[in-house]
Structure 1
Amino acid sequence: MRPSPKVVAAFISLPLALTACGGGGSSTTPATPSSISSASADHRPVKGGGTLNIALNADPDALDPSISTTLVGREVFANMCEKLYDIDASAALIPQLAAAMPELSDDGKEVTIKLREGVKFNDGTAFDAEAVKKSLDRHRTWEKSARQADLEAVSKVAVVDPATVRLTLKRAFTPLTAQLADRAGMIMSPKALDAANDNFGASPVCVGPFKFASRTSGSQIVLDKAPDYYDAAKVKLDKLVYKIIVDPNVRAANLKSDDVQVADQLATNTVKGVQADQNLSVVSGGGLGYYGFQINVGNVSGSTEKPGAVDTALGKSPQLREAFELALDRDAINKTVYNGLHEVDCFPVPLDSPYRPKDLTCPKRDLAKAKQLVQASGVPTPIPVTMATPNDAVNQRLAQVIQSMAKEAGFNVSVQTAEFVSVLEQGKAGKFDVLISGWSGRVDPDGNLTNLVTTQGSNNYAGMSDPGVDDPIKQAAAETDPAKRAELYGSAMKKAAELRGVVYLYHNKYYLGTKKTVAGVQYFADGLPRFITAGFAG
């Protein structure tokens, strides 16, 4: 069936400078100090040439879009592997390798995508519909792919002509465009895929302003300007060098010493010092993701397995989970742990998302009610709670503050630290009571909910399972009307808030430190620095 000319115009407006929700949802304290600007406002002219050194806060995993799972990997991909769609400065979805927004059939089960023409991969291979099909099929069917869930709704990818692909869906799935604006929409050179197969990430080839040159594990990743890029006139820099600098204090010091000219994800306790240097600037991005903790309410044998009964005080009692949350002061946590630089909230969808109902409010700290709930439970106090957290200094500080606040309500929180990867493994396996965790966020709310709070979702470490959460999220994914989607997501989030498998604390704000001589950096709501127009100020 030919699609009707109903074009998917999925606009999600999420300004970068957001206002923090207080403990009761009414605070007007800015999440971002007025002295920190948006990178998208920097339009100074740049001169051609030069090498930009960028400090990353971690070493990315494989640079293969099909299997990558790290935020830092997405940062590198943002300048090397373009997608069918992208977001702009206001977080609206826009075409990138696609020539236009997708067209839907009347039943929403056929999606037709027109492609840019005259485009080449960074190895000179022609970009066309066959290449798109090869990458999408790899993303959705390869047994090692981490994109299978992203494209689960797609049953077939067909080549209509060299500049057109058609996706057949199992069901209408409105978030598909947003999925194709992330790694699931990255298109790889078919020539490189055929040559490397499973080892594509060792020498990746995509369409992008920069091309992969080399990688030294744990040290650096080098990208060179791509001569075959379709918009090469925009690209001014000769080279990008990503340096892996895990320690946040060392990242800030290297920025001040000019060993790097850009530093990603500045720790909130280093932002002020970077701002104070007259040669440096700080710009803000992010806000789509969230941070908080999961409470195991049903994960007895793995997040993707059937939920069961958890034999812990918090896991068994919704009232005790409510008491635990009411013992916490989100504003105080933000100020104490993060210098007030994140955006306090208790829901997973950003505060000004058009898909967030206005009637969602956050509970203020209510220690008296928390104590009453604990006493009414009949569980002897102090109630033991084990909290697993990554072993970095900031997460340990967060755990200690939660520990102190919860103690006042009658909980005895024991903090257990481990490497980040080990904590994630604990979460997946259900071997935890409470687990500190976060999510980098997606532009469509489905990406912050499905697989995170729905039954047997791969990242639903809490083991939540309730039709009041699952059904409206599924219905919202098939709905095209933003107002109806917002109503459905609101219903699901309210029910999830009652279950408290996840307790959200704030939306992550990212802070990018740059030399004032660097201009043209784009830093949007996804927190991925884009250097396509960047360079040194002329």
Structure 2
Amino acid sequence: MRHPLAVVAIVVALLGAVSCAPARRVDLGQSSGNLIAAIAGEPDQLDPQKTSAYFSFEVLENVFDTLVEPDANLEMRPALAQSWTVSPDQLTWTFQLRPGVTFHDGTPFTADDVVYSYHRIIDGKLANVDKLSAVTDVRAQGPDTVVIRVAHPTPNLLTNLGGFKGMAIVSRRNVESGQIATHPIGTGPFSFVSQKSGDSIVLAANPKYWGGAPKVPGVTFEFITEPSTALSALQAGEVDWTDSVPAQRITQLRGDDSLTLAVTPSNDYWYLALNEARAPWNDPRVRQAIAYGIDRQSIVQATSYGSATANQLAIPKGNPWYTPYDRYRHDIDQAKRLLQEAGAHPTSMDMLVTSQYPETVTAAQVIADNLAPLGIAVHIRTVDFATWLDEQNSGHFDMLMMGWLGNIDPDDFYYAQHHTNGTSNAQKFSNPEVDRLLDAGRVETNRQVRQRDYATAATIIADQVSYIYLYNPSVVQAWTTRLSGYEARRDGAIRFRTASLDGGGRQ
């Protein structure tokens, strides 16, 4: 999953047996009493400021903290910063840090750690550098105060700082020693213990966590790639929680009293992107033809068995930033007319998907059938996620499918992906009016004007087919009835800090 984030990674119902990991019991000598969480893939790396994989964020959000963080309603609340003020001209933000916080190695957390973390992102041009694009200065005023100055009013600064992906506060010592890659040290509710490649990661509860010690002794993340295997392990009592639930089982599981099922509408979205650096995909009429050629409802049914909602823009209905849009229907005749108008006759398409997200493989098969009447043979290229990221970044694709998760502010949905200089604009879309509107959205403090700017930008993005938006998935998770104090969040954040297990550990 790519983020911003990329992300980019997503909490979705994963389909299809691409690779199998048998259900297995955990080494109880290492993690007796731990909450056992089955996730669908292994983190690509453990540096929270460098990864863009959702599987990494699932683990690392329990290890690291941010300055502020979203609550269940996605409103920003205190985290490592206990309070903040904004100057009358909205150009200076002053954060008072929470006293007495320490890193897992016992090192005191201070303002210098915040300054170092943000400068590392800016100076290193890491994945989320665009979230700090307005920042002109970050400095410490004593050990407990951080002052951030911005070049212009920045209405989404708190959202940018609080979105976990890439914005974690790290330990300078941990980074400069190189150990962050193999033994990350944060200030979060759980500390890293060990990783067994291809199998699991073990975390231990942090008894000195500023938010209160967790109620479970630790969390073991098991990597189980096959959803049916993860569900069987949950039903057998071998795991306590999973977000790898077969979509075709959701209806049946709603009536299963032996577990808790959560199907929560999300702000995530899945999309297709055509490589505009290549002909004929550089012609918007050809991209529009593909948008008319695909059948979103068939894709939704195949990938989520109806638990997702088809959408032609990124932001879902029910979100306060939602914009209605329904230009594209499944219309092969219109697609053919557009191709003829463009004088384009593509006969093949290289479609990049990843085995790490089986729904991309499933969708690709539907899309191949959809585009066959246009005379386009879709060659589905299935690779591992690391290769997918490399191929995306180097532009080695005609079309790809992926999703974005953890979006809160409208800037999260559009800027990095569609601004000419966006850090995740792999499709090479460039439109001066979109650039102007997205830049304006970053500084506009009037909510109505800002909403109008984003609605206009989103419409142009869809009209010009920077992305072909497919659907908004639901966050689907299941857990044992022994687990309490946990909630499935629509931003996909996996937080076990308040979770508890009744009945003690496994025997």
TM score, norm. by length of structure 1 = 0.81
Consecutive aligned runs of 4 or more in structure 1 exceeding 6 Å deviation: none
Amino acid at match of 1:104: V
Secondary structure of 1:356 counterpart: coil
Task: Give the alignment of 1:292-307 within 5 angstroms.
Answer: 292-297=271-276, 299=277
**1:256 CA drift (Å):** 1.6
The letter of the residue matching 1:60 is P
**Structure 2: which amino acid aligns with 1:130?**
D
* TM-superposition CA deviations, 1:259-316 (whole Å, max 9, x none): 111112424234345546442221134622211210112x3xxxxxxxxxx322xx14
Q: Check whether the contact 2:269–2:469 (CA below 8 A) recurs between aligned residues.
A: yes
The match for 1:148 is 129
Against the structure 1 CA distance between its residues 121 and 319, is the aligned structure 2 distance closer, same or farther, given a 3 Å change threshold?
A: same
Cα distance per residue 1:432-479 (max 9 Å; x no partner): 222222222421221221221111423212111111211100110111
**1:59 Cα deviation after fit:** 0.8
User: Which residue, 370, 386, 403 being the options, matches 2:368?
Assistant: 403
Separation in 2 of the partners of 1:169 and 1:258? Answer: 51
C-alpha distance 267-154 of structure 1, shift in aligned 2 (>3 A):
farther
Alignment of 1:355-504 (within 5 A): 355-357=321-323, 359-380=324-345, 383-391=347-355, 393-504=358-469
Q: Is this contact kept in 1: 2:286–2:344, CA < 8 A?
A: no
Seq. identity, %: 27
Question: Which of these residues, 312, 315, 325, is aligned with residue 349 of structure 1?
Answer: 315
Tell me the residue number matched to 2:216: 237
Instruction: Kindly indicate whether the alpha-carbon contact (under 8 Å) linking 1:123 and 1:189 is maintained by their aligned counterparts in 2.
Output: no
What displacement does 1:319 show? Answer: 2.2
Tell me, in whole angstroms, the C-alpha distance in 1 between the residues paired with 2:77 and 2:223: 31
List per-residue Cα deviations over 1:51-94 (Å, max 9, x = no partner): 21001111113222222221111111222212111111112221
Structure 2 residue aligned with 1:136? 118
1:178 is the counterpart of 2:142: no
Number of the residue aligned with 2:142: 161
2:208 aligned to which of 214, 228, 235: 228
Task: Rate the CA distance shift 1:410–1:191 in 2: closer, same or farther, 3 A.
Answer: closer
SS of 1:76 mapped into structure 2? helix
- Which AA in structure 2 matches 1:58? G
1:265/1:482 CA distance change after superposition, 3 Å: farther
The CA deviation at 1:104 is 2.6
Q: Secondary structure at the match of 2:228?
A: helix
* Aligned partners of 2:441 and 2:453 also within 8 Å: yes
2:292 to 326, 331, 334: 326
Alignment of 1:200-211 (within 5 A): 200-211=180-191
User: 1-side partners of 2:289 and 2:195: how far apart?
Assistant: 49
Conserved? CA contact 2:314–2:469, under 8 Å: yes
Where does residue 13 of structure 1 map in the other structure? none
Q: 1:259 aligns with which of 234, 238, 244?
A: 238
Provide the C-alpha distance between the structure 1 equivalents of 2:198 and 2:325, rounded to a whole number of angstroms.
43
Structure 2 counterpart of 1:510: 475
- Is the Cα contact below 8 Å between 1:337 and 1:397 reproduced in 2? yes
Query: Does the 8 Å contact 1:290/1:507 carry over to 2?
Result: yes
Q: For structure 1, which runs of at least 5 residues remain unmatched after alignment?
A: 1-48, 300-309
| Aligned equivalents of 1:316, 1:141: Cα separation in 2 | 33
Identify if the C-alpha distance between structure 1 residues 378 and 135 changes in structure 2 by more than 3 Å, giving closer, same or farther.
Answer: closer
CA deviation string 1:356-379 (max 9, x = no partner): 34x434533233433333444444
Q: Is the 8 A contact 1:66 1:139 kept in 2?
A: yes
Query: CA, structure 1 residues 379+212, in 2 after alignment: closer, same or farther (shift >3 Å)?
Result: closer
Aligned 8 A contact 1:387 1:416 in 2: yes
CA contact 2:234–2:240 (8 Å) conserved in 1: yes
The verdict on how the C-alpha distance between 1:78 and 1:393 changes in structure 2, with shifts beyond 3 A counting, is closer
Aligned residue for 1:84?
67
- Check the 8 A contact 2:475/2:489 in 1, yes or no: no
The aligned counterpart of 1:12 is none
Distance change >3 Å, CA 62–CA 386, structure 1 → 2: closer
1:172 is displaced (CA, Å) by 3.3
Structure 2 gap segments, 5+ residues each? 1-31
Q: Which residue of 2 aligns with 1:36?
A: none
State the distance in 2 between where 1:340 and 1:417 align. 24
Alignment of 1:55 with 2:38, yes or no, is yes
Amino acid at match of 1:506: Y
SS in structure 2 at match of 1:149: helix
- Letter of the structure 2 residue corresponding to residue 154 of structure 1: V
Q: Is the contact between residue 63 and residue 190 of structure 2 (CA under 8 Å) also seen in structure 1?
A: yes
Query: Does the CA-based 8 Å contact 1:319-1:373 persist in structure 2?
Result: yes
Q: Show CA shifts across 1:465-496 (max 9, x none).
A: 11121110011011122222211111111111
Equivalent position of 2:21 in the other structure: none
The whole-number CA distance in structure 2 between the counterparts of 1:183 and 1:419 is 21
- After superposition, the Cα gap between the structure-2 partners of 1:428 and 1:228, relative to the gap in structure 1 and judged at 3 Å, is same
Q: 1:157 to 1:254 in 2, by over 3 A?
A: same
Question: By how many angstroms is 1:166 displaced?
Answer: 0.4
- Mark the CA change 1:279 to 1:413 in structure 2 (over 3 Å): closer, same or farther: same
Give the match's secondary structure for 1:282: strand
| 1:71 corresponds to which of 54, 57, 63 | 54
* Aligned counterparts of 2:399 and 2:45: Cα–Cα separation in 1: 30
Q: 1:232 to 1:482 in 2, by over 3 A?
A: same
3-state SS in 2 of match to 1:63: coil
SS at match of 2:230: helix
What is the number of residues matched between the two proteins? 470
C-alpha distance in 2, partners of 1:506/1:227?
A: 41
* C-alpha displacement of 1:393: 4.4
Residues 207-233 of structure 1: CA distance to partner in whole angstroms, max 9, x if unpaired? 222222222222111111112112325
| SS at structure 2 position matched to 1:215 | strand
What whole-Å deviation, never above 9, does each CA across 1:491-511 have from its counterpart, x for those lacking one? 111111121121010123221
Q: Distance in 2 between matches of 1:321 and 1:246?
A: 33
Q: After superposing the two structures, state which structure 1 stretch, 482-491 or 418-427, moved more.
A: 418-427
Partners of 1:220 and 1:415 in 2: how far apart?
Answer: 30
Q: Hey, what does 2:11 align to over in structure 1?
A: none
